[in-house]
Structure 1
C-alpha cells in the first residue's frame, strides 16, 4: 500500500480517517474537492512554473530537475517539486508553496511536510544536504512583467527539518503500523477531543453517537474544554451548566436548552440606536492570487473588483435603491472607489456582515490611494457590523452555533436561497471574474456578468431582510 506525503499529513490530523480512506474507500465521505482547495492547487502549479523559470535561468540550471519521485521499499512515496544535484553527490530539495511565508501551524505544517520528503528521499539511498521552502515574497509589487527573482523567497529550513527527523520517523512508523491492520475500532476517532473547525471529514462516520446540537456548537470553545467534556462523556448541551461556559457561549447554551431563540432586547436596541439613515448595506467581492494579475498588486493581496449596495433611506422605506459595480478588466480598484463616492452620501450608517473584511479592504485601498483616504476612513467610522447582533443580541441554536450569514439567512428569511445560483460563494465569484475579464463580448459573457451581479446583490439584500426582521423584534 503506497503512503504519500498527503496521506501522512492526513494521518497526523486524524489517523483513523486515513485508515478508512485506504481500507474502506466506499465509506469515506469524499465529497467534491472544494472550490477554494482547487484554487490553491492551481496556484501552486503557477508558482512552480515561476520557480522553474528562475532556476532554469541560472548558470547551474542543468543541476536542477523537477517533479522527481521517490518510492521506498515499504511503500512511502514523495514527489519533490525541485531538486538540485550537488557536486559531492548530495541533493537539495525545494518545496514550492503558494503562501507568502513558511507555515508552521498544525493545519499547514510545511516543515513537517518537508521532513517527510527528506526521510523518503534518503530511504531510497540519496543524501539530502539542504531543504528549502520556496514561497512568495509578500512585499513584491508587480510592475510590468512578473519578476521571479523578486517574487520568490528561498527559505532554508534545513535545521528545522533535521530537528524533526526523529519525531517524524516515529510518526511514519505509527502510520504504517495502523495501515497494516485489517480492522480497527471504528467507534470514535481522535477528533472527538477537537473543536468543530478541526474535525476530520469522517467525523460523523466515527462518532455517530454525538447528538445535535452538541458541545461542538458552543462558539469559541477551547480544545481543553472540549477534552474535559468528552472525557466525562458529556456531549449534549442539555448536560452542560451555565457556569461551565463563557458569557458568549451562554447565549447558545440557553437557546439550545430552551429550544428557542435568546433575545437580549437591550443589546438589540443599542445596535439599532446607532443606525443613522440613510443606511448603506455594503458588500465587496475581492480577488487574490499567488501571481499578481495587475501592476500594483501584491501576491495573495485581495483586490476589490465588485460591490453591491442597497440603500434604505428611511425606517419605513420599502422602495430600496440598489447600486452595483463590477470591473470588467483586470485593474486596481480606483474606479470602484470613485463609483462608491458617487453613490454613498456623507451621512448615514454603512452596514456590512463581518465588517472587519470590508474595513480591511477600505484601509488597504486608502493606503493605495491617499487622496481617497478621507472617504474610505469615513466609511470605516460609519460602519456597523450586522453580524454582531447574533453574538449576544439574537442567538438561535438553529444557527448551529455560527454567526455566518449563510447559517442565519435560512432561519430568518427562508425564501432567500443561494443554493441554486450559478455563482453562490466568494470563491466562485473570484473564478467567475477571471473568466469574465478574459471572455470576448458574447452571450456567455453577458450571462456570466448577470450571474455575478445577482450573487453580490443577494448578499446585500439578505442583510436588509435580516436587519428588518431583527428590528421588528426590538
Structure 2
C-alpha cells in the first residue's frame, strides 16, 4: 500500500519509507507533536469552510469530500474534494492550510496533487481539472469568517499535469522498492542533507555518525557537505578550519579542544553597545490558519503575552508581565509595554528577528504607538548572537537555541517539568485558557503561561550575567 503521505516520505528518503513498512518494530516513529496536532486540526477547519462555501454553489450536489481511490498495485488516495463533471470526468481539489501553493521540498503540494491524480486515473476516472485550495494571504477578518474571501481556488491543472510523467516513474520506483524483501541498510540519502532535513530513521541507517559531527555545523549543505560525505569525514576532528566558514569555525575549534571556544573581544563588542537599564523582552504569540480576531489574517502572528525583566546598573532586577485574557488585537499589550519601558536602555531578546517583526507589525496596526514600537526595534540587540561566535560550547551541538544554551551555561535553571515548556505549548495553553469556562482550570493555565514566559526572560538575564562574568574575569 502506498498512500500520498507515504509517497511524500519516499521522495524525501526512500529507505526511511521501506523501513517503516518492512520493519515497523525498529522504525523510530516520531511522536505526533503538539504542532503536528495543531496543523491537522487547522486542516479540518479549512475543509469546514470549503464545505460551507461549496453548499452555495449551483453544482453543489456534484461535489463530495474524502473520496477514496485504490488501485490493484497498491496506490491509496483519499481526495479532499472532487466534483463530478457532466462528461463523466472529475475535478480534484486538494485543501491546504497554507497561504500559497508550496512547490518545493519537504512537502511539495503539486506532487501531492499529482499522486492523487494518478491514483484516481488508475482507478478508472478521467481527470479534467486540478485545484489546490489555500488561504488568501490578503484576507483580513471583519466579523464572521467569509469563506469566499478566505479561500483561494488555485487552478494548478497545467503544472500538476506537467509533473505526471515524472511522478508516474517515481511511483513505480517506490512500489518496486517496497516490494524488496531486503535493502542495503548501511546508509540513506539523508547523509547529503543538513540535520534539519534528516529522516526519522537517520540514526538507524547511519549509526557510525558521532554525536558531534559535520551536521553540527550551521548552514552546511550543497557541495561542501557532499564533499565531506564522499570522503567519509563526519567527525569534526577531521575538518580543517580553512575548510569551513567563519560562523562554522568556532564549533570546529570547540570540538577540537573539548572546551568552550571563547572570543572575549567579540563578547566585549556585544556588551560595549549596551545601555542601562537592560530590558529583557520576550513575546508569546498565537498563530492560526483561521484568524480568531478581527483585523488579522490567516497564519498571522498575534501577540498575546510578554515578559519583561529589567536589570538596573546597580544590579536590581524588576519583572513586569502581561497576558491577554481574551482574543483581541494587542492594543492593551502595547499600552502595558509602553508603560514599562523607559526612553533609555537597551532591549535584549533571543532571536531579535522574531520580536522585531512583531514590533514592526504592531507599529503598522497602531499608528499612535508607531514611534514607540519602531524605537524598540532600533534599541534591540540579540543575546543569541554571542553564542554564534563569542562563546561556543560543543555541548550546544551547533544550536543557538536558548533551550540548548541554558542547561550548559546556567545548569541550575531549567524548563524541565513545566506544564508549559515551549512556544507551541504556550499557543495551545492560551487557546485553552481563553475558551475555558472552569475558573480553576483557567487560573491554572494562566499561572502556567506566566511561569513559562517569565522563565524565558529570566533565562536571558542569567545567561547575560554569565557572559558578563567572562568579561569581568578576563
- Fold in common (TM above 0.5): yes
TM-score (norm 1): 0.98
* 1:245-260 alignment, distance < 5 Å: 245-260=244-259
> What are the ranges of 5 or more consecutive residues in structure 1 without an aligned counterpart?
none
- The aligned length equals 471
Match for residue 448 of structure 2 among 426, 446, 451: 451
Q: Which residue in the other structure is 2:172 paired with?
A: 173
Q: 2: distance between equivalents of 1:233 and 1:83? A: 49
Deviation at 1:416, TM superposition (A): 1.4
Q: 2: distance between equivalents of 1:459 and 1:364? A: 22
Secondary structure of 2:339's counterpart equals: helix
1:329 matches 2:329: no
Q: 1: distance between equivalents of 2:152 and 2:107? A: 18
Q: Which residue in the other structure is 2:348 paired with?
A: 351
Q: Which residue in the other structure is 1:44 paired with?
A: 43
Q: 2: distance between equivalents of 1:281 and 1:191? A: 39
Q: Which residue in the other structure is 1:401 paired with?
A: 398
* 1:161-200 alignment, distance < 5 Å: 161-200=160-199
Q: Which residue in the other structure is 1:127 paired with?
A: 126
Q: Cα RMSD between the aligned structures? A: 0.8
1:235 matches 2:234: yes
Q: Which residue in the other structure is 1:424 paired with?
A: 421
1:381 matches 2:391: no
Q: 2: distance between equivalents of 1:40 and 1:92? A: 25
1:471 matches 2:471: no
Greater displacement, 394-403 / 329-338: 394-403
Deviation at 1:247, TM superposition (A): 1.0
Secondary structure of 2:395's counterpart equals: helix
1:141 matches 2:140: yes
Provide runs of 4+ in structure 1 moved above 4 Å: none
Q: 1: distance between equivalents of 2:175 and 2:165? A: 16
Q: Which residue in the other structure is 1:20 paired with?
A: 19
Deviation at 1:56, TM superposition (A): 1.2
Match for residue 390 of structure 1 among 387, 391, 398: 387
Greater displacement, 401-410 / 27-36: 27-36
1:272 matches 2:271: yes
Q: 2: distance between equivalents of 1:444 and 1:31? A: 30
Answer yes or no: is the 8 Å Cα contact 2:309–2:457 preserved in 1.
Answer: yes
Secondary structure of 1:248's counterpart equals: coil
Q: Which residue in the other structure is 1:410 paired with?
A: 407
Q: Which residue in the other structure is 2:439 paired with?
A: 442
Q: 1: distance between equivalents of 2:107 and 2:307? A: 34
Answer yes or no: is the 8 Å Cα contact 2:263–2:390 preserved in 1.
Answer: yes
Q: 2: distance between equivalents of 1:182 and 1:404? A: 41
Greater displacement, 5-14 / 434-443: 434-443
Deviation at 1:441, TM superposition (A): 5.0
TM-score (norm 2): 0.98
Q: Which residue in the other structure is 1:224 paired with?
A: 223
1:362 matches 2:375: no
Deviations 1:12-54 (A, max 9, x none): 0001100111011110111321111111111000000001111
Deviations 1:304-333 (A, max 9, x none): 00000000011x41x411111000101010
Answer yes or no: is the 8 Å Cα contact 2:360–2:374 preserved in 1.
Answer: yes
Deviation at 1:212, TM superposition (A): 2.1
Deviations 1:394-450 (A, max 9, x none): 111111011111110110011111121000110110011111111125111111100
Q: 2: distance between equivalents of 1:228 and 1:22? A: 32
1:338 matches 2:335: yes
Secondary structure of 1:221's counterpart equals: coil
